Structure 1
Amino acid sequence: MNKRILAVYYTQSGQTKQILDSFLQPMIAQDVEIDYLQVRTQHVFPFPWSTPVFFDTVPESVEVIPTPLQPWTTKYDRYDLIVLAWQPWNLSPSIPINSILQDDRFKAIIKDTALVSICGCRNMWINAMEKNKKLFAVAGTKHVGNIALADRHLNHLSYITIFHWLGTGKKDRKWGIFPLPGVSDKDIAGAAVFGTTVNDSLAAGNWENLQPALRKQQAVNVKYSLMFIERKAGKIFQKWVNIINQHPQKRKNILVAYKYYLAVALLLASPIILLVDLILIRPFNQKKIKQQLDYYSSVDYNPNI
């Protein structure tokens, strides 16, 4: 009997589906049966997004609050592998993805089943992945592989280009001079290489060495500078959400302040903080840093890391 995969995805721009399709090509070539589940929410998140509407997702995404889903169904109740194609919002899983992962019927399908996660993002995904790992643990699924495809351009440039893409819906060069936003076409096409590796483990029914094999292929690339910023930013994001929770009537005004804070923190403060870290902290914490890089490149889950 052919192996069965449930390919679960949410997409607005279409990029996540492109990544998923490329990744699944080797399985399709081997006649693996694939059942697709596109996550749809009752509240439709628009694309393109206006800036205020985009930032209005901050509280619910940071606190991993689900939203009602549209009716969905799958062909089977059990699969040999779950492939979850997802994206981070605000250093957290997107609201549609956190919603399907907290759906009781979906949790029953993925319980005790191998799951490979694959995301497309600007560049920061580790905080969101940690929240996903917690949801995986609650559901009892077996997280056996993780792949993260990111925009390879400099942090400052990708911050500008991603908002151009979100705001216009056009994946082109802002003013004709900035780089293209999002995951490159080359990297999207290259996801098929990782699909071959996953398919080998699927055929063998052995997942033990999958993530080490994917790491050798650079399926995940944790950069220290981004990890350093993201670990601090995740805590700061939560503090802003706490303020909104304390003053819900001022939500819009607080989110405007947060938007400007985020731009200043990323574009001006973070380079200074990274320079101080490079000189005064990083040289004396190499062992701890290596442990953190290894952990975030793995599929292990440790809430105390």
Structure 2
Amino acid sequence: MKKRILAVYFSQSGQTKTIVDNFIKPIAADGNDVEYLQIKPVHQFPFPWTIPVFFDTVPESVEVIPTPLQPWKTDFEKYDLVVLGWQPWNLSPSIPFSSILQDEKFKSLIKDTPVITISGCRNMWINAQEKNKKLLKAAGAMLVGNIALVDRHPNHLSYFTIFHWLGTGRKDRKWGVFPRPGVSEKDISGASKFGDVTKEYLREGKWDGLQQDLVKMGAAPVKYSLMFIEKKAGKIFQKWVDIINKFPQKRKNILVAYKYYLAVALLVASPVILAVDFVLFRPFSQRKIKRQMEYYRSVDFREII
């Protein structure tokens, strides 16, 4: 029986839209009806970014504060599956994406509906997906699958390449030396393999086991070192936002300080902290680490992990 799918996305560079397109291809080819909904905020977030404008999104993205969206509509009030294409900003869902998840009309649309989240990002998506899970739970949606496509290059290299891409809009090699930024073209086109698996579950309308199958195919990569850094960084980001909220008149100056702090923390402090953890803590926490990694790969949601 033909199914009805809604593909919702926010995309600045076009990468997220292309990922969603490739994921949807085998589902559409299976004879299902697919409708697209592009998230359009009233306030336009420019691409390429300037560095000050990019960092100015920190407080609102970290605290998941919605921005007004342009009017939108869909052809139907209910769908058999909703696919959500998104991206992290500042270890949180991008402001336009978190905004639609808090839109009352959209919450009604996805209530009691199977939802699959699919993202393209630098490499850290865990904190942001936990916020997505919380918002989806509040909306009464059923998260049945999550796919995260990442930049596979080392963390330090991708830090430089992502700012090259964001600042220039060019997905080429910085100075002809650094690797290309963002998700690789191979992985973007390869999103169709996840759609192939999903279409089989869609046919039956039964979703138990989908995420496990997606994980076996590499849909939600969790690397310990990145998980460790991200968990620490998420708490630190919130502390910086708390300072901004306390001194709003100094927002710009605080964000400049935050920018330099972030560079030092990532490029200098994090390798040292990881080395200490590797020697003193990680060997004695293997069971806990395994449980955490399995949880983040899943579609389960718990307030305390």
- With the length of structure 1 as denominator, give the TM-score of the two structures: 1.00
1:195 aligns with 2:195: yes
> 1:187 offset after TM fit, Å?
0.2
Instruction: Map 1:281-292 onto structure 2 (within 5 A).
Output: 281-292=281-292
Instruction: Map 1:120-269 onto structure 2 (within 5 A).
Output: 120-269=120-269
Aligned residue for 1:67?
Answer: 67
- Distance in 1, Cα, partners of 2:114 & 2:170: 36
- Distance in 2, Cα, partners of 1:200 & 1:303: 31
Partner-residue secondary structure (3-state), 2:190: helix
- Distance in 2, Cα, partners of 1:133 & 1:110: 13
- Distance in 2, Cα, partners of 1:99 & 1:299: 21
CA distances 1:230-286 after superposition (whole Å, capped 9, x unpaired): 000000000000000000000000000000000000000000000000000000000
> 1:112 offset after TM fit, Å?
0.1
- Distance in 2, Cα, partners of 1:170 & 1:4: 36
Instruction: Map 1:37-52 onto structure 2 (within 5 A).
Output: 37-52=37-52
Partner-residue secondary structure (3-state), 1:171: coil
The aligned amino acid for 1:81 is L
Partner-residue secondary structure (3-state), 2:238: helix
- Distance in 1, Cα, partners of 2:210 & 2:149: 17
The aligned amino acid for 1:238 is Q
Aligned residue for 2:7?
Answer: 7
- Distance in 1, Cα, partners of 2:301 & 2:227: 16
Partner-residue secondary structure (3-state), 2:276: helix
Structure 1 runs of 4+ with >3 Å offset: none
- Distance in 2, Cα, partners of 1:6 & 1:22: 14
The aligned amino acid for 1:118 is I
> 1:28 offset after TM fit, Å?
1.4
Aligned residue for 1:78?
Answer: 78
- Distance in 1, Cα, partners of 2:300 & 2:2: 29
> 1:294 offset after TM fit, Å?
0.3
- Distance in 2, Cα, partners of 1:109 & 1:252: 38
> 1:63 offset after TM fit, Å?
0.1
- Distance in 2, Cα, partners of 1:216 & 1:156: 27
Aligned residue for 1:102?
Answer: 102
How many corresponding residue pairs? 305
Partner-residue secondary structure (3-state), 1:27: helix
1:111 aligns with 2:111: yes
Partner-residue secondary structure (3-state), 1:271: helix
Partner-residue secondary structure (3-state), 1:2: coil
> 1:44 offset after TM fit, Å?
0.1
- Distance in 2, Cα, partners of 1:20 & 1:127: 21
- Distance in 1, Cα, partners of 2:244 & 2:265: 19
The aligned amino acid for 1:53 is V
- Distance in 2, Cα, partners of 1:173 & 1:47: 18
> 1:183 offset after TM fit, Å?
0.2
> 1:204 offset after TM fit, Å?
1.0
Identity percentage of aligned residues: 69
Aligned residue for 2:29?
Answer: 29
Unpaired segments ≥5 residues, structure 2: none
Aligned alpha-carbon RMSD (Å)? 0.5
Unpaired segments ≥5 residues, structure 1: none
Partner-residue secondary structure (3-state), 1:148: strand
CA distances 1:47-92 after superposition (whole Å, capped 9, x unpaired): 0000000000000000000000001010100000000000000000
Aligned residue for 1:55?
Answer: 55
The aligned amino acid for 1:171 is K
The aligned amino acid for 1:58 is V
Partner-residue secondary structure (3-state), 1:186: helix
- Distance in 2, Cα, partners of 1:39 & 1:275: 42
The aligned amino acid for 2:85 is A
The aligned amino acid for 2:263 is A
Partner-residue secondary structure (3-state), 2:158: helix
CA distances 1:165-193 after superposition (whole Å, capped 9, x unpaired): 00000000000000000000000011000
- Distance in 2, Cα, partners of 1:259 & 1:200: 45
Partner-residue secondary structure (3-state), 2:189: helix
- With the length of structure 2 as denominator, give the TM-score of the two structures: 1.00
- Distance in 2, Cα, partners of 1:189 & 1:170: 19
